[in-house]
Amino acid sequence: MQPFIVKLNGLASGRTVFNWVADGKFFEQFGNPDILSAEVEVTATVVNHGATVDVECSMQGTVTVPCDRCLDDLELSVETGFSEVYTPEGADLDLSQDIYDYVCTALPLQRVHPEGECNPETIKFLSK
């Protein structure tokens, strides 16, 4: 089964829960150079009403980005989620774009190590 895609053909009416992991490759597909690696657990609760599909999605895990100050890896924890009502047009409901968007939105704008935890070599170099 492909992750992040809900196959509507044969989806039981009522509630189905999907568990996926969004890793570095997932973010790479969207061409985001800021995300070096990731390990985000995605839980999607899908309620099939036939004409519409309710999706409640929660994402929790870590995303690694370069630190704005020293460029070393910086691990950020993310915890976010969304709920949407979809009116599917095809046989598949692809949630990957929404999952990607919500995780990116949840990341802080300022991505720096806590004071004193930056790579001292880089900082020395940059302050020259």
List residues binding Zn ion (CB under 5 A).
67, 69-70, 113, 118
Closest CB to Zn ion among residues 5, 67: 67
Closest CB to Zn ion among residues 67, 107: 67
In the complex, the smallest distance separating the C-beta of residue 31 from Zn ion, rounded to whole angstroms, is 24
In the complex, the smallest distance separating the C-beta of residue 69 from Zn ion, rounded to whole angstroms, is 5
Concatenating the DSSP letter of every residue in 65-127 gives EE-TTT-SEEEEEEEEEEEEEE---SSEEE-HHHHHHHHHHHS-S---PPTT-S-HHHHHHHT
In the complex, the smallest distance separating the C-beta of residue 70 from Zn ion, rounded to whole angstroms, is 3
Closest CB to Zn ion among residues 79, 121: 121
Closest CB to Zn ion among residues 82, 113: 113
In the complex, the smallest distance separating the C-beta of residue 127 from Zn ion, rounded to whole angstroms, is 13
Tally of CB atoms within 10 A around 54: 14
Concatenating the DSSP letter of every residue in 101-113 gives HHHHHHS-S---P
